[in-house]
């Protein structure tokens, strides 16, 4: 092989090696890295406290039915992601609801064949619907249709399988009537945390006008 061609190949290999080190640092460096935590300790799921203590409600005794939810929310059929309400407390802006998943749920066939997992976006939809239910029931925004305005700091920490009950908790943290409501949310399966995050709800006045006219 000519010397010039060999030099060109070596130079190309050196460039690739340098690029690889930029994109993927050495394994030893990656192993020694630790993400900082607020408490200065390694993060543990057991450190997450539920928004509502499990002793304050009874899964066998819902305080709200699907009919009660449908009086506040407009989602129906496959997109309805709440089956009942377990706890409400207006003084602290807290609410707990649940969704009983089944093998007939729309996401089971495609996500994923052979090992069905509830999609994270569906968990977030359940949280949004619970927040909407609470907001509309107590007329917090001055509008009877609430839309999802955004999701922040969302983390998926576990899985939800067909046949399991997803218990969703929300707590209102900020309210501007006629403008926006902010909530933190948690999802649990058998007292095991599976999702956490924050969401914003916004009033949909045009939808409220149209849907209100349709119901009349």
Looking at the 3D structure of the chain, how many domains does it have? 2
Shared-domain flag, residues 28 and 127: no
| Selected catalytic residue, list 21, 59, 74, 111 | 111
Shared-domain flag, residues 105 and 211: yes
Residue 181 located in a structural domain: yes
Residue 62 located in a structural domain: yes
Shared-domain flag, residues 112 and 203: yes
pLDDT on residue 38: 52
pLDDT on residue 47: 87
Over the stretch 22-46, which tens digit does the pLDDT of each residue have?
444 444 444 444 545 555 555 567 7
Say whether 111 is catalytic: yes
Residue 37 located in a structural domain: no
Residue 101's φ and ψ, nearest 5 degrees, are -80, 150
Over the stretch 128-165, which tens digit does the pLDDT of each residue have?
999 999 999 999 999 999 999 999 999 999 999 999 99
Shared-domain flag, residues 18 and 87: no
Tokens of 79: 């997109």
Cis status, amide bond into 185, omega within 30 of 0? no
Residue 141 located in a structural domain: yes
Report the CATH number at residue 158.
Answer: 3.10.129.10
Domain that holds residue 26: 3-32
Residue 40 located in a structural domain: no
- Higher-pLDDT residue of 42 and 16 is 42
Residue 46 located in a structural domain: no
Residue 18's φ and ψ, nearest 5 degrees, are -65, -40
Shared-domain flag, residues 183 and 96: yes
Over the stretch 181-205, which tens digit does the pLDDT of each residue have?
999 999 999 999 999 999 999 999 9
Residue 127 located in a structural domain: yes
Shared-domain flag, residues 11 and 95: no
Shared-domain flag, residues 104 and 199: yes
Shared-domain flag, residues 83 and 187: yes
pLDDT at 70 over 50: yes
CA 60 to chain centre: 24
d(CA 132, CA 38): 31
In the numeric block, the tokens 């649940």 are attached to 98
């Amino acid at each position: 092989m000519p010397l010039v061609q060999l030099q060109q190949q070596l130079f190309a290999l050196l460039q690739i090696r340098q690029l690889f080190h930029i994109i993927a640092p050495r394994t030893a460096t990656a192993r020694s890295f630790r993400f900082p935590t607020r408490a200065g300790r390694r993060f543990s799921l057991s450190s997450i406290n539920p928004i509502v203590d499990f002793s304050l409600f009874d899964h066998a005794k819902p305080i709200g039915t699907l009919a009660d939810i449908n009086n506040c929310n407009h989602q129906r059929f496959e997109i309805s992601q709440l089956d009942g309400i377990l706890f409400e407390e207006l003084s602290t802006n807290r609410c707990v609801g649940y969704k009983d998943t089944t093998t007939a749920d729309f996401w089971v066939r495609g996500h994923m064949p052979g090992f069905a997992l509830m999609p994270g976006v569906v968990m977030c939809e359940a949280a949004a619907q619970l927040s909407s239910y609470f907001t509309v029931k107590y007329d917090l925004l001055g509008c009877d249709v609430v839309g999802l305005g955004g999701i922040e700091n969302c983390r998926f920490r576990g899985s939800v399988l067909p046949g399991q009950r997803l218990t969703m908790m929300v707590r209102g943290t900020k309210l501007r009537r006629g403008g926006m409501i902010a909530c933190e949310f948690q999802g649990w399966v058998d007292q095991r945390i599976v999702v956490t995050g924050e969401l914003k709800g916004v009033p949909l006045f045009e939808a409220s006008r149209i849907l209100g006219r349709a119901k009349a």
